[in-house]
Amino acid sequence: MEMLPDEVSDTALMLDLAGGRDAALSALIHRWQSKIISYLTRLVTDPETARDLAQETFVRVYRHRQRYDAQQSFSTWLFSIATNLSRNHHRWRQRHPEAPLEPEQMQQIEGAPRPLHPDQILAQKEIATAVQAGVTKLPEDQRTALILSYYEGLPQKEIAEIMQCSVKGVELKIYRARQTLREALAVWL
């Protein structure tokens, strides 16, 4: 009896992909695409760019399928690729500035359920806008660590591997990001 894609581990799918079974890539994309797009959207703050970078992430997974180390966590490897693409995009964007998203567009990214009362809706929008603006203004390494920890729920050890630093370094980046956000959002707290 053949296993369904959801029952097959990411590592097994990568080994299948490296072995020439290209259908394994479809299963990995199906499993990880929304998480990677969500992660990249928070990093680059533009949903279209995030989708492009997510697509490039999976192109690189395919291109480097022979280099995948089965001893390494697939999610760590995948988020490392996405993080590196985001860093490259950030460097490119510094040389070619773009207009930032409007607060209304950021609300679409968050996708949080809206309370029924109009005052609550307005307050929630203001807080979400303030939080997103604060996260966007964080230094890149702090923003990346914070997003991987709080939004993606990754353990600090895995974040350290993705960011190529120590676990203590991750803890410090998250601590500093929280302190900066606490100061920036003091009005709301």
Nearest of 81, 83, 128 to residue 102 by alpha carbon = 128
Tell me if the domain spanning 117-189 has CATH number 1.10.10.10: yes
- pLDDT, position 1: 35
- Please report, for the chain, the start and end positions of each structural domain, with discontinuous segments joined by +: 1-101, 117-189
- Long-range CB pairs of 69-77, under 8 A, 24+ apart, other chains included: 70/11, 70/14, 70/15, 72/161, 73/158, 73/161, 74/9, 74/10, 74/11, 74/13, 74/14, 74/28, 75/10, 75/32, 75/154, 75/158, 76/158, 76/161, 76/162
CATH topology classification for 1-101: Rna Polymerase Sigma Factor; Chain: A (1.10.1740)
- pLDDT, position 59: 94
- pLDDT, position 99: 55
- pLDDT, position 92: 79
Query: pTM above the 0.85 mark?
Result: no
Low-confidence ranges of the chain (pLDDT < 50): 1-4, 112, 114-116
d(CA 88, CA 92): 6
- The one-character DSSP state at 5 is G
